[in-house]
């Protein structure tokens, strides 16, 4: 049986600083001395406690930003254009849109083409 890792504050600080520097998760796992799966498990446990790391998507934006993002997407803006305006990653915008039940302009166009 594999013994669970005790995450020290130094290990967590290393993960935070390296992630803030834009280093990929697999390289961070190597520098901390754990497997990528172990690092993913730690990130899930920390996220459940409300702790996020730089580059990790927030679960949802505040109400005003949510209205703004929804308005931009309904107005026909792409996820990339919305992400540039809001200052987040396009994948984050896609997650927010999915949670709000919105569909992108591109997805609508592809759906229409499929029906033809």
Over residues 60-100, the pLDDT tens digits come to 667 788 888 889 988 888 889 998 998 888 888 888 888 88
69 with 108, same domain? yes
Determine the average pLDDT of the residues in 35-64: 71
* Confidence at residue 58, expressed as pLDDT on a 0 to 100 scale: 54
Count CB neighbours of 49 within 10 A: 6
* Number of compact structural domains in the chain: 2
Cα-Cα-Cα-Cα torsion 8, 10, 14, 15, nearest 10 degrees, comes to 20
Global pTM reads 0.46
pLDDT of residue 39 exceeding 70, the answer is yes
96 with 73, same domain? yes
Query: CA nearest 66: which of 54, 58, 56?
Result: 58
* Domain presence at residue 2: no
Angle separating helix axes 79-86 and 63-74, nearest 10 degrees: 150
Cα–Cα–Cα angle for 42, 90, 60, rounded to 5 degrees:
55
* Confidence at residue 116, expressed as pLDDT on a 0 to 100 scale: 63
pLDDT of residue 53 exceeding 70, the answer is no
68 with 97, same domain? yes
- Give the CATH number for residue 91: 1.10.10
Determine the average pLDDT of the residues in 2-14: 76
* Domain presence at residue 56: no
Angle separating helix axes 63-74 and 90-100, nearest 10 degrees: 90
Determine the average pLDDT of the residues in 1-21: 77
Task: Share the mean pLDDT of the chain.
Answer: 79
| 79 three-state secondary structure | helix
């Amino acid at each position: 049986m594999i013994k669970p890792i005790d995450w020290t504050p130094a290990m967590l600080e290393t993960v935070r600083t390296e992630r803030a520097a834009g280093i990929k998760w697999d390289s961070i796992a190597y520098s901390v001395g754990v497997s990528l799966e172990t690092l993913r498990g730690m990130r899930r446990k920390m996220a459940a406690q409300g702790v996020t790391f730089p580059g990790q998507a927030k679960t949802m934006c505040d109400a005003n930003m949510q209205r703004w993002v929804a308005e931009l997407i309904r107005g026909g803006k792409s996820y990339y254009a919305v992400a540039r305006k809001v200052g987040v990653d396009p994948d984050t915008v896609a997650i927010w849109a999915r949670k709000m039940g919105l569909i992108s302009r591109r997805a609508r166009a592809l759906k229409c083409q499929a029906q033809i």
